Amino acid sequence: MKPIFLCLFMIYSLAGATIRLNSNDYNEFISHEVTQDETTIYLKLSTSHEETIKKLLFLGTTVYFDINGKENRDVYVNYPLKMEKSNVNHIHVQKEQAEEINLQSILEKIPQQATYGNFDQVQQFHILLNNLNINASLRQNDNITIELTIEIPKNRISEEPFDVSKLSIGVVSGKLEKPSLGNGRIDKVQRGGDGSRPSSEAPRRDRRPRPELRSIELKNQKPFKPINFWFNSGLE
């Protein structure tokens, strides 16, 4: 049985199967596809998992390329950039008021700027028009799926020719502060001088929570756990 199992394993590996590297957090909800031509590496990430979509879009996503098959973070493309806190808070409010988030409305708020890094060289560029020949895009594939694509020339990964079979790719998101809708203070104008409820005010048990109370609830939410996983390109 062992020789048969070993043979099947070798065939599976030669077929371009993805080899997962050591990682602190491998995200099983993201599918990835890597292809190439003579000059360019093409990466496509896709997910329909809501929390993972939030991580990719809200926290900012950086894709690293290591020609030595390790997890060095010297060469990268950062897209999308981390969303501004005001936009994140607005989307949290939208989520409170609706059954689901409108993905298209989120994508419209994503800046069309990205960052390319190569050791000491760091350059911000427009994803639709730049002299780096790097393309990045986000699109809604259907009602619930987001696709992130990165197209990067091989000479932007390394000026010297390299063995693509050793290329490792890392996908890492940033960190997010706890969302808030305001300063979280209770307005005492609506209460007695000592903060107690005036006797003439009717009980609020059946009323919806006030915005400032909902703000406190959002502040107490735990921040998203960042995405952090690496894989072999599977190219030959």
Give 86-130 pLDDT, tens digit per residue: 454 444 444 444 455 678 888 888 999 999 999 999 999 999 999
| pLDDT (0 to 100) of residue 226 | 85
Residue in 14, 17, 23, 8 with CA at minimum distance from that of residue 230: 23
Give 52-74 pLDDT, tens digit per residue: 998 898 899 999 999 999 999 99
CA-to-CA distance for 127 and 114, rounded, in angstroms? 6
| pLDDT (0 to 100) of residue 207 | 54
More confident residue, 211 or 58: 58
Q: Could you tell me the pLDDT band of residue 144, with boundaries at 50, 70 and 90?
A: confident
> Does the global pTM surpass 0.85?
no
Predicted confidence (pLDDT) at residue 39 exceeds the cutoff of 80: yes
User: Tokens in use for 27?
Assistant: 């995200």
Predicted confidence (pLDDT) at residue 20 exceeds the cutoff of 50: no
CA-to-CA distance for 30 and 45, rounded, in angstroms? 6
Span 197-204, average pLDDT:
50
Q: Could you tell me the pLDDT band of residue 167, with boundaries at 50, 70 and 90?
A: very high
More confident residue, 183 or 206: 206
CA-to-CA distance for 191 and 10, rounded, in angstroms? 73
Q: Could you tell me the pLDDT band of residue 190, with boundaries at 50, 70 and 90?
A: very low
CA-to-CA distance for 163 and 233, rounded, in angstroms? 11
* Cis, bond preceding 80 (omega within 30 deg of 0): yes
More confident residue, 28 or 65: 65
Residue in 127, 140, 132 with CA at minimum distance from that of residue 56: 140
For 13-17, 41-45, 135-139, 231-235, which range has the lowest pLDDT when averaged over its residues? 13-17
Q: Could you tell me the pLDDT band of residue 18, with boundaries at 50, 70 and 90?
A: very low
